[in-house]
Amino acid sequence: MVELLPILIPALVAGLLVVSTHVPLGYQVLRRGIIFIDLAIAQVAALGIVVAHQLHLMHSFHGVEYLLSVVFAMFAGLLLALLEKHLQKELEAIIGCFYVLAATAGLLVLAHDPHGGELLKQTLSGSILWATWDMLAWHGIVVVAVLALLWWKRSLLNGIWFYPIFAIAITSEVDLVGVYLVFASLIMVPLATNRLPSGAKRLVIAYGLSILAYAAGLLISAWWDLPSGATLVWCLAIVALAFALLAKRKVTAV
């Protein structure tokens, strides 16, 4: 296991970058009742990566696939922000439509690509174990910028600016860990801790549970040679469920 540390440590840092933004954003998603916005915007961002691949833009300059996926995700975020004003009651259904349209658009774009299946698998499941320090430095800048913005003016999460901020954070993390793990990181632990009193203590607990799940998932994935993305999703679910059951048992005992 020691020889795997050069792979596991960057992967764990990638996980820390993901949960640093996903925990506060996850509580906001739950408060707004738009649970599947993460899946929808993440899938739109993944579509940007697929389009960049098909246009062979990845070879033109470094990071072009990320920039195109940001454009796609920002467009989706701004459109949802506009729709929220006029179609509040139908917003969750519209978000679901965004997801299925982006997912099927990816299938259509890659229909004649012999390597399309592998690219789709990577955008969904991610490749966190292949994270490099160069990649982490770039994504770290994005994460720090998002966190600084939220710390400077947290009220931005309550208005329409939530959508573009969310889109920027999600795009960076889809590129790192894939659509499935982005969604699991956003929803599972915040859902398990959502009934705790809001404040610093709840954030600390949520961050702690998320880090525990990522550490356990990476070790299990490496030890048994399992797909890292799928393993991490299940570890997040198990840790979140275990905490929810323990918290409920404690309340019942009182």
Q: Which stretch of 102-116, 119-133, 200-214 has the lowest confidence by average pLDDT?
A: 119-133
Q: Is 113 left (phi over 0), alpha (psi -120 to 50) or beta?
A: beta
Q: Is residue 99 one of the residues assigned to a domain?
A: yes
CATH of the domain at 11: 1.10.3470.10
Q: Is residue 76 one of the residues assigned to a domain?
A: yes
Q: What pLDDT, in 10s, does the model give residues 75-100?
A: 998 888 888 778 878 888 899 999 99
Q: Is residue 253 one of the residues assigned to a domain?
A: no
Q: What pLDDT, in 10s, does the model give residues 193-225?
A: 999 998 889 999 999 999 999 999 999 999 998
Among 27, 35, 65, 60, CA closest to 174: 65
Q: Is residue 67 one of the residues assigned to a domain?
A: yes
72 neighbors 48 (Cβ within 8 angstroms): yes
Q: Is residue 252 one of the residues assigned to a domain?
A: no
Domain range enclosing 242: 2-246
Q: Is residue 254 one of the residues assigned to a domain?
A: no
Torsions phi, psi of 211, nearest 5?
-65, -40
pLDDT score for 55: 82
What is the tally of structural domains in the chain? Answer: 1
Q: Is residue 40 one of the residues assigned to a domain?
A: yes
Q: Is residue 251 one of the residues assigned to a domain?
A: no
